[in-house]
Amino acid sequence: MNEERTSEQAIFTLEHVPASAQAVGGRIGITHEVVATIAGIAAREVPGVHALGSWRFVPFSDRPRRGVSVEVGQEEAALDLEIVLEFGADIRKLAAAVRGAVAEAIDTMADRKVVEVNLKIAGIELPRPK
């Protein structure tokens, strides 16, 4: 894997296209922060997920990487997510749905096989009184 540090961000090479008579060449580099953002957005779209990160934070804030850490290798990625779930959610089903959504999004967008998604349930959002 080609990885470099720029402004304290790890960048891995998604693709390198050599120049040819038909196309301009170049490299596509993605930071680990982008992979964390992909994972955070995918996880938040799963029904039953209230937020990522500590329960004190507002759900769907402008920081989609909150509560997500990633390790990206040459072909694989592993992630840790801290989740606040909605009261009544089946934790096992929610975990399976989050793992599937995150793995699919990262495979599609960053071309990395997700080998593990570890979840920490950081809180439960209680229903608001009516």
Domains of the chain in sequence order: 31-125 (3.30.70.1350)
Q: What is the DSSP letter of 129?
A: P
Look up the pTM and report it.
0.80
Over residues 3-38, the pLDDT tens digits come to 443 334 667 777 777 777 777 878 888 889 999 999
Residue 15 structure tokens: 């693709």
Residue 112 structure tokens: 């990395």
Average pLDDT for residues 39-59, to the nearest whole number? 83
Give the span between the Cα atoms of 59 and 23, in whole angstroms: 43
Please give the single-letter amino acid code of residue 57. F
CB 68 within 8 A of CB 41: no
* Between 86 and 129, residue with greater pLDDT: 86
